[in-house]
Amino acid sequence: MSRNAESTAFRSALEVIRAVEPRVADAIGAELADQRESLKLIASENYASPATLLAMGNWFSDKYAEGTVGRRFYAGCQNVDTVEALAAEHARELFGAAHAYVQPHSGIDANLVAFWAILADRVESPALKKAQARHVNDLTEADWFALRRELGDQRMLGMSLDAGGHLTHGFRPNISGKMFDQRSYGTDPATGLIDYDRVAEAAREFRPLILVAGYSAYPRKVNFRIMREIADSVGATFMVDMAHFAGLVAGKVFTGDFDPVPHAHIVTTTTHKSLRGPRGGMVLCGPELADQVDRGCPMVLGGPLPHVMAAKAVALAEARRPDFADYAQRIVDNAQALADGLLRRGATLVTGGTDNHLVLIDVSNYGLTGRQAEQALLDSGIVTNRNAVPQDPNGAWYTSGIRIGTPALTTRGLGATEMDATAELIHTVLSQTTAGTGPDGAASKAKYVLDPAVAEQVGKQAADLLTPFPLYPTVDLA
């Protein structure tokens, strides 16, 4: 695509927006400038292509399209049908799935659609049938009580939060924790790895309706064949949330036992992380669950977002190209180069390394909390997020970990040499930062001391590292 076409498209869009609310146009321009300048290591973020971004800014945003392709509750959905069918077709082909539901607006929506589909498939309940005919927001307290009574305390077994699991896998602050009686499996304290024998033991004791695999902060592959065997041994439905690593599945880096699609009854994902699409969610399943999954609207969702489904179709088409497989492999190569660089400099990594797109640094050996490390790195132009480590003594707010990931920098084109330089910058900041004290002189989990000259020097080196790899090189807003 020519530099001209993409520059013209974005420049014209900003000109049109500026005529109405210039501050929004300025903020959009500033966001591109900020993203161009920051060394983005947030494992769940990426840079969608100009085509994907542009597919979202158009008239599809104006259309209601509740229902499914060819069966809508609104007239005039023929063009929405086209893009939804295309997105689903690309998803089926890309992942080798029998059925794809591309309406979820996010990962939590996708998980809720999956949970309700499994409940409807497995549990006899008149209250559930009633709930399925309505949007969850329209259910009264009495409806919820009836649902709880009839569904009983259905059980879900998922990965614990501090081992890298996700809030939507049955944890209290999320609605999934209110729907299910949840129990977690953790990781082996010595190795940080999933101990499948322990998972099997927990499943035998707990007898869950749903066994969930998937993570947002576990730096290793999961053997989905073994997990399916465990699910089968206790009659559980096996669900995989592949939001973080969908790009590695799409790019055929995770194959065989490590590809969730042939092993799980149902797979959910977001589309904007390693898959590099628009912000959104998706559900894949076999024919047995397809009808229930398609009831995601109205059970969980209101109107789908046709403009985002259009962008999903574009991004999934991109992911089917051969160069996406090369991109996916480079994500992992880069994560391993980053991990090796950190290990060589003395950092402690949860599980001792990585075989996916993310690395979890235990920063307690630098004498820091995750919160202190995150801020010190940010001061130095390195964007990461703090994350709990297994059995974290600092809890989920302050944490003892920093999670870093390579999908975004790999999209920019950085490679192993730059990952080693990045490891050096991270190590420099962490080793030169010390824990601070509060006003009363007591140790603080948030305050830290970092010489501003060090932060400035590292920030400059980080910017230099990015210079040869311009972000959106075909987009010139000037």
CA 425-456-45 angle, 5° bins: 55
SS3 147: helix
Task: Report cis status (omega within 30 of 0) of the bond before 208.
Answer: no
CB of 217 vs ligand DSN, minimal distance in Å: 7
438 near 304, Cβ under 8 Å? no
Judge whether 178 counts as a catalytic residue: no
Q: Which CB sits closer to ligand DSN, 336 or 387?
A: 387
CB-nearer residue toward ligand DSN: 244 or 427: 244
Instruction: Please count the residues of this chain forming the interface with ligand DSN, following the rule CB under 6 A.
Output: 3
Q: Which is closer to ligand DSN, CB of 65 or CB of 246?
A: 246
Tell me which of 50, 107, 208, 304 binds ligand DSN, using CB under 6 A.
Answer: 107
Integer Cα distance of 253 and 242 in angstroms: 13
Please report how close the Cβ of residue 268 comes to ligand DSN at its closest, in angstroms.
12
Per annotation, catalytic residue among 52, 168, 269, 270: 270
- What is the crossing angle of helices 452-466 and 416-432, to 10°? 170
Query: Closer to ligand DSN at the Cβ: 44 or 160?
Result: 44
Select from 38, 44, 237, 271 the one that contacts ligand DSN (CB under 6 A). Answer: 44
State the nearest-atom distance from the C-beta of 390 to ligand DSN, in Å: 16
- Rounded distance between C-alpha atoms, residue 172 and residue 311, angstroms: 33
Query: Residue 77 or 110: which CB sits closer to ligand DSN?
Result: 110
Angle at 378 between CA 374 and CA 381, to 5 degrees: 145
CA separation for the pair 70, 78 (Å, rounded): 8
Q: Is residue 274 part of the contact set for ligand DSN (CB under 6 A)?
A: no
Task: Tell me how many helices (H) and strands (E) the chain has.
Answer: 20, 17
| Nearer Cβ to ligand DSN (44/68) | 44
Active site residue 241: yes
Q: Is 369 a catalytic residue?
A: no
Nearer to ligand DSN by Cβ, of 81 and 355: the residue is 355
Query: Long-range contacts: 452-456, Cβ < 8 Å, 24+?
Result: 452/379, 454/380, 454/428, 454/429, 455/376, 455/379, 455/380, 455/429
Give the nearest distance from C-beta 44 to ligand DSN in angstroms: 3
CB of 184 to ligand DSN, least distance (A): 17
In the set 221, 273, 295, 403, the catalytic residue is 273
CB atoms within 10 A of CB 153: 10
- Match 């797979």 to its residue by tokens: 267
Q: Which residue among 66, 188, 229, 257 is the active-site one?
A: 66
Positions in 285-344 near ligand DSN (CB under 6 A)? none
Q: Is 467 exposed, middle or buried (0-12, 13-18, 19+ CB in 10 A)?
A: exposed
**Residue 45 annotated as catalytic:** no
The answer to the question of residue 214 lying near ligand DSN (CB under 6 A) is: no
Nearer to ligand DSN, 202 or 248 (CB): 248
CB of 178 to ligand DSN, least distance (A): 18
The conformation of residue 236, written as its DSSP 8-state character, comes to P
43: tokens are 């494992």
Q: Which of 263, 257, 274, 256 is nearest to 240 (CA)?
A: 263
For residue 383, the minimal CB distance to ligand DSN (Å) is 12
Annotated catalytic, 172? no
Task: Give the residue with the Cβ less far from ligand DSN, 99 or 403.
Answer: 403
Q: Is 420 a catalytic site residue? A: no
Q: Report d(CA 149, CA 247) in Å as an integer.
A: 40
- Out of 109, 162, 241, 318, pick the active-site residue: 241
* Shortest spacing between CB 107 and ligand DSN, in angstroms: 6
d(CA 390, CA 165): 10
Residue 96 has which token pair?
């080798």
Contact status: 216 vs ligand DSN (CB under 6 A): yes
The residue annotated as part of the active site, out of 11, 279, 345, 447, is: 279
* One-character DSSP codes across 46-114: ----HHHHHHHSSGGGG----EETTEESSS--HHHHHHHHHHHHHHHHHHT-SEEE---SSHHHHHHHH
One-letter amino acid of 75: A
Smallest distance, Å, CB 89 to ligand DSN? 27
Catalytic site residues? 64, 66, 241, 270, 273, 279
Residues that bind ligand DSN (CB under 6 A): 44, 107, 216
